[in-house]
Amino acid sequence: MVKKIVDNNMKEAEESNIAVIDFSAKWCGPCNMLAPVIEELSEEMKGRVDFYNADVDSNMQLASAYGIQNIPAILIMKSGSVVSRTVGFQPKAALANFINEQL
């Protein structure tokens, strides 16, 4: 399950051992293509990785703080520190590999 980040509050994601944060927007075509991929991966990686979504329009301060300039943007955090990021749509296998490389 992908948890929604609201009110620019990433406390839960920052406290997670491993978190994948999807920065996106409702009006973004590639973001809408990526959302079901992220949802599937969240179910497959349940218990190992925590998944979050932050809408950039309602979390502008957060997007700015993490230097999000293009979406969809995926950040991987370990214990509150960003260890990797990627931008743009990726097929499920490619995104799974990207995440698994950080585990």
Q: Which of 5, 10, 21, 31 is catalytic?
A: 31
28 is catalytic: yes
Distance CA 100, CA 92 (A): 12
Amino acid at 60: M
Q: Which of 10, 21, 28, 95 is catalytic?
A: 28
CATH number of the 2-101 domain = 3.40.30.10
- Map out the domains of the chain as residue ranges: 2-101
80 is catalytic: no
Among 16, 11, 14, 21, CA closest to 75: 21
Distance CA 103, CA 91 (A): 19
- Tell me the pLDDT band of 103, cut-offs 50, 70 and 90: confident
Residue-wise pLDDT tens digits, 17-74: 999 999 999 999 999 999 999 999 999 999 999 999 999 999 999 999 999 999 999 9
Contact 60, 3 (CB under 8 A): no
Collapsing DSSP states into helix, strand and coil, what is residue 83? Answer: strand
